[in-house]
Amino acid sequence: MTATLLAPGTVEVDVRLVPDDLRRALRRDARAGLSARPKTMPPVWFYDDRGCELYEEITRTREYYPFRTERDLLRRVAGEIAEAAGATVLVELGSGTSEKTRLLLDAMAAGRAGLVGYLPFDVADGTMRAAAQAVADDMGIGVHAVVGDFHEHLDEIPDVDAPRLVAFLGSTIGNFTRDQRRNFLEEVARMLGPSDRFLLATDLVKPVERLVAAYDDAAGVTAAFNLNLLSVLNRELAADFDPDRFVHRAVWDAENRWIEMRLEATEDMAISISALDLSVEFTAGEQMRTEISTKFTFDQVRRDLSQAGMRVTGVWSDPAGDYLLTLARPK
Ligand code: SAH
Ligand code: AVI
């Protein structure tokens, strides 16, 4: 159903994932992931309020080039993207604090089509609410936010009677498994009407030393982000992980072309997860996978989009070729 655009300066938030749903999903993921071999947890659980703050801190570290590179690229080409897209509404998936988004919003507002609305979508309720209010106040546009999960609630994003640019920044698509990526892109393609466009940001393959450093910064911010997962499990599931008995690892998987973040147990231990009525054993040196961050080539991005039913209409890269922004339309 087509929704009406909100009045300038107003904010509405649709919550498709209430705290009870989140707890149920966390219980499901923790039961499956902690019983698997090797143990694994999906990265969505990083992003409680503290995790969102730590991600922001990561983006300010010297080693984490993706954020800076994407921001600088957007500063240079957001106007061209806005012109090529011709949209008046920006939908943003995984919007977080909407920081880099401002560059796109400003470019759309200054462009020929103009800007009438912003629809951010994220699992992090508090962080997105604050960002939505700030955008509405600063830019005087209607902001309709949706709290949901990429893999379940994309169809809850309001359809509006205006051309939309659907942006997925940050190379967050890199955090999906291959199946999740395929399903997600197919879902995005289904969302797009003939005058809608999709903007996809992807981090590109590069020398392994830079990649590993970006996920293992010297100040230990990424380590704190990774270890925060254990605090989420302790708080939400009454577990008794001792974060001091785990260390952060970042490993390049050359075959899959992704960085894996892992948490490694420093000694043998048994963890009690009261909310699941479950006890889980770790042996010294055992690693639990907490995130993959896939690195792309242009050909792979084009192929993935094409297989999902989209056609590339524009590409922009930084001078060093580290990062790619791809604009696509339905075929
Ligand atoms: N777009 C921003 C933030 C990237 S961090 C940038 O480019 O810097 C990844 C964002 O995706 C976070 O805000 C996190 O809360 C959100 N996220 C992670 N997994 C999610 C999921 N499964 N569903 C919805 N949002 C998710
Ligand atoms: C959000 N996502 C794309 C980040 C990444 O680079 O994979 C999350 C992150 N993990 C460690 N550092 C940053």
pLDDT at 1: 59
Q: Does the CB atom of residue 96 touch ligand 2 within 6 A?
A: no
Top mutation candidate among 60, 150, 226, 291 for ligand 2, by most atoms within 8 Å of CB: 291
The token duo for 36 is 């698997």
* Residues 129/143, Cβ–Cβ less than 8 Å: no
Ligand 1 atom 3 nearest Cα? 96
Q: Which residues pair with 291 in a beta bridge?
A: 261
pLDDT value at position 3?
Answer: 78
Does ligand 1 come within 6 angstroms of the Cβ of 174? no
Q: Which two tokens stand for residue 100?
A: 């880099």
Could you tell me the pTM of the whole model?
Answer: 0.97
Q: Tell the residue nearest (CA) to atom 4 of ligand 1.
A: 170
- Residue 57 beta carbon below 6 angstroms from any ligand 2 atom: no
Distance CA 14, CA 4 (A): 14
Residue of 50, 172, 215 with the most ligand 1 atoms within 8 Å of its CB, for mutation: 172
Q: Which atom of ligand 2 is nearest to the CA of 293?
A: 7
Nearest CA to ligand 2 atom 7: 293
Q: What average pLDDT values come out for the chain (331 residues) when binned by 10 residues?
A: 82 95 97 97 98 98 98 98 98 98 98 96 98 97 97 95 97 98 98 98 98 98 98 98 98 98 98 98 98 98 98 98 98 95
Ligand 1 contact via 95 beta carbon (within 6 Å): yes
At residue 325, the pLDDT reads 99
The CA 290 to ligand 2 mean position distance, Å, reads 11
Provide the pairing of β-strand 258-265 with 287-294: antiparallel
Q: Which ligand is nearest to the CA of 175?
A: 2
In this structure, the number of other CB atoms found within 10 A of the CB of residue 253 comes to 11
Q: Is 58 in the pocket of ligand 2 (CB under 6 A)?
A: yes
Q: How far apart are CA 117 and CA 91, in angstroms?
A: 8
Q: What is the position in ligand 2's atom list of the atom closest to the CA of 59?
A: 13
Q: How far is the CA of 180 from the centre of ligand 1 (A)?
A: 15
170 pocket-lining for ligand 2 (C-beta < 6 Å): yes
**Which residue has tokens 């084009």?**
302
**In a 10 Å sphere around its CB, with 0-12 CB exposed, 13-18 middle and 19+ buried, how is residue 1 labelled?**
exposed
Cα(270) to centroid of ligand 1, in Å? 31
| Ligand of minimum distance to the alpha carbon of 58 | 2
Tokens of 202: 């992807």
- Return the pLDDT at 4: 79
